Homo-oligomer: A and B are copies of this chain.
Amino acid sequence: MPLPVIVLVRPQLGENIGKAARAMLNFGLTDLRLVDPRDGWPNPDAGPSAAGADCVLDEALAFETLDAALFDCNQVFATTVRPRDMIKEVVGPQEAIKRTRALSGAGGRTAFLFGPERSGLDNDDIARSDVIVTVPVNPSFSSLNLAQAVIILAYEHFQQELGDTATPADTNLMPAPKEAVTGLYGQLEEALEPREYFMPEARAYLMKRTLRNILDRAGFTMQEIQTLRGMIKHLLRVPK
């Protein structure tokens, strides 16, 4: 049963990485991944604030890109507020953890993305997620810090683990690991680029993000992705 992965995207202060590690371990989470941490990794500032959760820091992996960090994750939640220009489902922590546990019961891995301290996740990060999880807070004082956001999700997970067991998700419907979605997207982009799909140039960026978003939201299974990739390959052939 894979436990949730905590992914800190472009974290700024080592101290906050340490605090996040501590919050994770308080509630039994240990898989910490860092995407492009500002001050590199390992970071000597992380240890002291982990207050003993060194094992989490020692095992933490740093990745250059978010796609790389999510390679083996079947479901990705972005912790943020609802974005204005993207269609994503938004759920609360309880529902997010319910889905996490249902997937985990079938052997699937879920990642939670947390953005940089100051700015939060950007739209490209959010586009990589399947669903947005928003912690409902006091609307007139909503500045949750990184470790607090982490601890609330870790707490919710631990609580539900202690409670009654979730119905495991149907293994036949397990969304493929994100590595497979990235592969599918890459195949498409590679095929579309020379076919002048991403035009005008000024809109290319947004068009790519939208495409990737569609692939993520679809929740394709591995089998489906293999089928799609074969199909796309065929589409690219010159008709006889």
Contact = CB atoms under 8 A, between A and B. Distances in A.
Interface in A14-31: 22-23, 25-28
Interface residues of A, number: 29
A51 interface: yes
Given A92-B159, A158-B136, A25 B148 contact: no
Interface in A148-168: 148, 151-152, 155, 158-159, 162
Interface in A197-227: none
Nearest to A141: B25
A26 B148 contact: yes
A86 B157 CA distance: 31
A53 B159 CA distance: 28
A94 interface: yes
Contacts of A25: 138, 141
A52 interface: yes
B26 A94 contact: no
Contacts of A144: 26
Contacts of A162: 92, 136
Interface of A: 22-23, 25-28, 51-53, 92-94, 135-138, 141-145, 147-148, 151-152, 155, 158-159, 162
